[in-house]
Structure 1
């Protein structure tokens, strides 16, 4: 007799309630109400997806060799050893030095857009945000990293790129300030 109940299904399972993994622990009965009250406060919506914000100081100049031909994902051509010019990473990543910041990410709310915890984002505050840009927004004095969705003249909301996180639709009295537009994600492919 076969059992058709097993296996995982997309979207099933417990959802992250506190934006981090949880663990089962034993607590004294006399502390249950106190702990539940604490957890209810922690459960209130928090937007702070940003660990740090640092102003860019492009004082160093480093020229990196730039191959003159594009590289395919297959086997490289032996002729591609020729380096035509060099690239300064400051010129490549920073368009407006005075308005550019590096933001370190503190949540997985944008995981499916390739942004993970401890990734560094290059953020330009001088760019006007457009529909579907990834932005740093300020809501209730907390920063969040989300995709800006614009529907009509007055309906703006923020989309999470991870089904375990909620989209952000402003409630009455809430104000959203688009602090900057994410232009690049800096992340290592090789862990040290």
Structure 2
């Protein structure tokens, strides 16, 4: 038998480490592979969206919900009556497979109540409609804006006078990535 040069370890062969740490296998839908690879390759440079994570409601936490509503004006007598328990997963998430949490990274939507570091709950399964707050991808950069649909087409409105609206032009990559359904804001 002749000796083969095939097989075995070869210098420079195999996958090259991109990071100096252990890696982890992640299962994603086949239809999303290219999109996710493109996102991972996109250089991060002060985009308005920071830290996109898929929502994974693995725990169930029920929080007591008081039956009485709180007055924003003149206070009313308090009632110590708990109506039921509220699960935040059920309250915030309608389609867990298409829901992501995204952190805002600018003040362009300040007048809509979205501040820097607010967590935006984004549902990709919803079809965006006029006046929805959406996550859009424009030339491979994410932004959060209000979708305006008019006779000329659709454009993105900033909810802060210090920021420009975005009117996509021909040849520009423009995609509505998802609809913002909730904002999670910390006060303390």
TM-score normalised by structure 2 residue count: 0.72
Contact preservation (8 Å) 1:138, 1:144: yes
Q: Which residue of 2 is the match for residue 173 of structure 1?
A: 171
Matched, 1:188 2:186: yes
Identify the range of structure 1 (67-76 vs 88-97) with the bigger mean alpha-carbon deviation: 67-76
Q: Give, in angstroms, the shift of residue 47 of structure 1.
A: 8.6
Q: Which residue of 2 is the match for residue 115 of structure 1?
A: 114
Q: Distance in 2 between matches of 1:63 and 1:172?
A: 49
Q: Distance in 1 between matches of 2:90 and 2:170?
A: 42
Q: Distance in 2 between matches of 1:75 and 1:131?
A: 37
Contact preservation (8 Å) 2:140, 2:173: no
Q: Which residue of 1 is the match for residue 32 of structure 2?
A: none
Matched, 1:149 2:148: yes
Q: Which residue of 1 is the match for residue 31 of structure 2?
A: none
| Among candidates 155, 158, 164, match of residue 156 of structure 2 | 158
Contact preservation (8 Å) 2:64, 2:82: yes
Q: Which runs of 5+ in 1 are unaligned?
A: 1-45
- How many equivalent pairs are there? 143
Give the secondary-structure state (helix, strand or coil) at the position aligned to 1:92: helix
Contact preservation (8 Å) 2:132, 2:146: yes
Q: Give, in angstroms, the shift of residue 77 of structure 1.
A: 2.0
Q: Give, in angstroms, the shift of residue 176 of structure 1.
A: 1.2
Q: Which runs of 5+ in 2 are unaligned?
A: 1-44
Q: Distance in 1 between matches of 2:164 and 2:83?
A: 47
Q: Which residue of 1 is the match for residue 98 of structure 2?
A: 99
Identify the range of structure 1 (68-77 vs 116-125) with the bigger mean alpha-carbon deviation: 68-77
Contact preservation (8 Å) 1:47, 1:143: no
Q: Distance in 2 between matches of 1:118 and 1:69?
A: 31
Q: Distance in 2 between matches of 1:70 and 1:117?
A: 29
CA RMSD of aligned residues (A): 1.5
**1:82-132 deviation line (CA, Å, top 9, x unaligned):** 102100000000000000000001111111111111111000001110001
Q: Distance in 1 between matches of 2:64 and 2:139?
A: 45
Regions of 4+ moved over 6 Å: none
Q: Which residue of 2 is the match for residue 70 of structure 1?
A: 69
Q: Distance in 1 between matches of 2:70 and 2:107?
A: 31
